[in-house]
């Protein structure tokens, strides 16, 4: 009982201040930066899209991030109860439930993709990946088989082991080792990639903006991605906020996390585009870009098995540090609501997530008829979580902090000038843009 008391949000557990920043960067930097960002940048206009993404991070992402952290720290509860404990009416707790359910849903497919990356790391290091150069077929037969389920279980166990150890002994320690480690891997891979013959063309595709390629659709995709990339609308930043020291400046933390997220996306782009250009792989190959197109490049470069292995390990690490933040959201909720011990909450939730990931996994091949709404379960789950839950709970955060929260100024701890700018964004810019993203991505309006 005693450990339970200590571990429940609202009691003594706290991040150290660097530990918190690293954990929040760990949450933000994930498959979104290294798998999704490169392929959507390839599809929606290269450098111009990258710029748009940065603008969205600045005007919508960072204000919402600060709001989530402040709500968490003021409430010191779960992603649902923090709203109420921070001074909101009961109804906000009900709205907050959205962001307790969302991570559950996201985890069921995110952990599968994390498993793919680990499988590909093994394939690359062992050289097996290069025995069959039809990488598309290889990817299809892997994702269509039962191995992704096995890897899903491994990922669930690793994530569970970290979260069971608690905030400072588990999540913080894990990120303190892996975030700097990731930067080392990224820099090695970036140097390898930029120095490939023909690599510089990829750099210029990525960094020189051609605004004629932008469409209204790219703007909405950039905004949706800024949200996903900063881990917003999923209760993760509210939940992490609950463990932040009173002395920590949330404004600076927000800047650090935004800068970290942008830096890792920038480097990921500087790895992927030079490689694709050097080997004449279309930059707009879509979701298969890293699993299908890049292996072709690795197979053709000297020591490709090694660089390929590092690349997939990197992806796996990025995914795991995001998964631990996702898992902590329902864990905080369950510990608070049902007074469960941390370990009980972690293993029940991890087990459930694993079971719920099975339909997604088998929908990719073993049972292709497993469709909801004409989509394989895997795509449907991604669709619903990213396009419905995420913007809706983002909207709840902006409206609460922008209009309904009496102590907002005090809890944000900003200077007068920054506070005014922030409140303006939260009131007038963020909700409108987020609403657009929602209407568009839930396919209620079409462009
Ligand atoms: N930000 C992560 C990424 O870019 O991959 C994904 C994510 C993690 C989204 C945690 C939401 C979340 F709560």
Residue nearest atom 12 in ligand 1 by C-alpha distance: 231
Q: Which domains does the chain have, with CATH numbers?
A: 2-133+146-354+387-441 (1.20.1740.10)
CA–CA distances in Å: residue 431 to residues 28, 312, 412: 21, 36, 18
Nearest-5° Cα angle at 23, 22 to 28 = 95
For ligand 1, pick from 326, 327, 381, 393 the residue to mutate: most ligand atoms within 8 Å of CB: 326
For ligand 1, pick from 32, 227, 257 the residue to mutate: most ligand atoms within 8 Å of CB: 32
| Rounded distance between C-alpha atoms, residue 430 and residue 276, angstroms | 35
List 371's β-bridge partners, or say none. Answer: 376
Helix (H, G, I), strand (E, B) or coil at 375: strand
Integer-rounded Cα Rg, in Å, for the chain is: 21
Helix (H, G, I), strand (E, B) or coil at 281: coil
Contact in structure between 80 and 121 (CB atoms under 8 Å): no
Q: Which atom of ligand 1 is nearest to the CA of 31?
A: 5
ipTM value, please give it. Answer: 0.98
Helix (H, G, I), strand (E, B) or coil at 316: helix
Q: Identify which of 434, 267, 243, 253 has the alpha carbon closest to the alpha carbon of residue 342.
A: 243
Contact in structure between 394 and 233 (CB atoms under 8 Å): yes
Q: Identify which of 376, 313, 392, 323 has the alpha carbon closest to the alpha carbon of residue 353.
A: 323
CB atoms within 10 A of CB 420: 12
| Rounded distance between C-alpha atoms, residue 205 and residue 79, angstroms | 40
- The b-or-e profile of 7-32 (16+ CB within 10 A means b, else e) is bbbbeebbbeeebbbbbbbbbbbbbb
- What is the distance in A from the centroid of ligand 1 to the CA of 225? 10
Residue nearest atom 10 in ligand 1 by C-alpha distance: 231
- What is the distance in A from the centroid of ligand 1 to the CA of 277? 28
- What is the distance in A from the centroid of ligand 1 to the CA of 322? 6
pLDDT at residue 11 in the model: 62
First CA to last CA across the chain, in angstroms? Answer: 55
- What is the distance in A from the centroid of ligand 1 to the CA of 320? 10
- What is the distance in A from the centroid of ligand 1 to the CA of 384? 15
Per-residue tokens: 10: 């609202």
Q: Which atom of ligand 1 is nearest to the CA of 322?
A: 8
Q: Which atom of ligand 1 is nearest to the CA of 35?
A: 5
**Which residues form the pocket of ligand 1, taking CB atoms under 6 Å from any ligand atom?**
27-28, 30-33, 103, 228-229, 231, 234, 236, 322, 325-326
- What is the distance in A from the centroid of ligand 1 to the CA of 264? 13
Determine if the pTM surpasses 0.90: yes
pLDDT at residue 288 in the model: 75
Per-residue tokens: 140: 């299809």
For ligand 1, pick from 33, 229, 235 the residue to mutate: most ligand atoms within 8 Å of CB: 229
- What is the distance in A from the centroid of ligand 1 to the CA of 228? 6
Q: Which atom of ligand 1 is nearest to the CA of 37?
A: 4
- What is the distance in A from the centroid of ligand 1 to the CA of 272? 20
Contact in structure between 290 and 319 (CB atoms under 8 Å): no
- Which parts of the chain sit beneath pLDDT 70? 1-11, 378
Q: Which atom of ligand 1 is nearest to the CA of 229?
A: 4
Q: Which atom of ligand 1 is nearest to the CA of 30?
A: 5
| Rounded distance between C-alpha atoms, residue 313 and residue 116, angstroms | 11
Residue nearest atom 11 in ligand 1 by C-alpha distance: 231
Q: What is the DSSP letter of 288?
A: G
DSSP H or E stretch at residue 376: strand 375-376
CA–CA distances in Å: residue 144 to residues 67, 107, 114, 129: 41, 19, 16, 16
| Rounded distance between C-alpha atoms, residue 27 and residue 445, angstroms | 31
| Rounded distance between C-alpha atoms, residue 285 and residue 32, angstroms | 16
In total, the chain counts a number of residues equal to 447
What is the full DSSP assignment across 246-276? TTS-HHHHHHHHHHHHHHHHHHHHHHHHHHH
Helix (H, G, I), strand (E, B) or coil at 144: coil
Contact in structure between 251 and 412 (CB atoms under 8 Å): yes
pLDDT at residue 237 in the model: 97
- What is the distance in A from the centroid of ligand 1 to the CA of 258? 13
DSSP H or E stretch at residue 178: helix 173-194
- What is the distance in A from the centroid of ligand 1 to the CA of 321? 9
| Rounded distance between C-alpha atoms, residue 279 and residue 192, angstroms | 14
| Rounded distance between C-alpha atoms, residue 325 and residue 69, angstroms | 13
| Rounded distance between C-alpha atoms, residue 63 and residue 75, angstroms | 18
List 376's β-bridge partners, or say none. Answer: 371
């Amino acid at each position: 009982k005693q450990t339970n008391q200590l571990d429940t949000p609202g009691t003594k557990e706290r991040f150290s201040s660097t530990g918190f920043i690293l954990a929040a960067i760990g949450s933000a930097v994930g498959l979104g930066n290294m798998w999704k960002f490169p392929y959507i940048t390839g599809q929606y206009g290269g450098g111009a899209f990258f710029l748009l993404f940065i603008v969205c991070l600045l005007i919508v992402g960072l204000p919402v991030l600060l709001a989530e952290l402040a709500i968490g720290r003021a409430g010191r509860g779960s992603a649902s109860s923090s709203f109420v404990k921070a001074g909101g009416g009961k109804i906000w707790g009900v709205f907050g439930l959205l962001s307790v359910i969302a991570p559950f849903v996201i985890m069921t497919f995110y952990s599968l993709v994390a498993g793919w990356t680990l499988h590909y790391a093994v394939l690359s290091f062992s050289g097996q990946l290069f025995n069959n150069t039809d990488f598309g077929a290889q990817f299809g037969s892997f994702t269509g088989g039962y191995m992704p389920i096995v890897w899903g279980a491994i990922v669930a166990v690793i994530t569970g082991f970290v979260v069971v150890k608690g905030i400072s002994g588990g999540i913080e320690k894990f990120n303190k080792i892996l975030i700097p480690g990731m930067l080392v891997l990224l820099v090695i891979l970036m140097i390898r990639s930029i120095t490939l013959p023909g690599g510089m063309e990829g750099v210029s595709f990525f960094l020189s903006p051609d605004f004629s390629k932008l469409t209204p659709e790219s703007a909405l995709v950039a905004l949706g991605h800024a949200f996903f990339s900063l881990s917003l609308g999923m209760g993760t930043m509210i939940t992490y906020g609950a463990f932040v020291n009173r002395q920590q400046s949330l404004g600076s933390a927000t800047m650090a996390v935004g800068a970290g997220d942008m830096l890792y996306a920038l480097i990921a782009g500087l790895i992927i585009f030079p490689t694709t250009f050097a080997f004449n792989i279309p930059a707009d190959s879509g979701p298969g870009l890293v699993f299908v197109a890049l292996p072709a490049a690795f197979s053709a470069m000297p020591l490709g098995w090694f660089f390929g292995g590092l690349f997939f390990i990197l992806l796996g690490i990025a995914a795991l540090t995001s998964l631990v933040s996702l898992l902590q959201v329902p864990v905080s909720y369950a510990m608070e609501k049902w007074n469960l011990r941390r370990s009980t909450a972690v293993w029940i939730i991890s087990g459930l997530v694993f079971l719920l990931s099975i339909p997604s996994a088998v929908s990719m091949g073993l049972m292709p008829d497993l469709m909801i709404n004409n989509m394989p379960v895997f795509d449907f789950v991604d669709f619903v979580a990213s396009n419905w839950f995420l913007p809706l709970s983002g909207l709840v955060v902006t409206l609460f902090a922008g209009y309904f929260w009496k102590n907002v100024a005090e809890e944000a701890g900003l200077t007068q000038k920054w506070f005014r700018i922030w409140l303006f964004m939260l009131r007038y810019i963020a909700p409108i843009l987020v609403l657009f993203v929602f209407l568009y991505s839930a396919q209620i309006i079409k462009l």
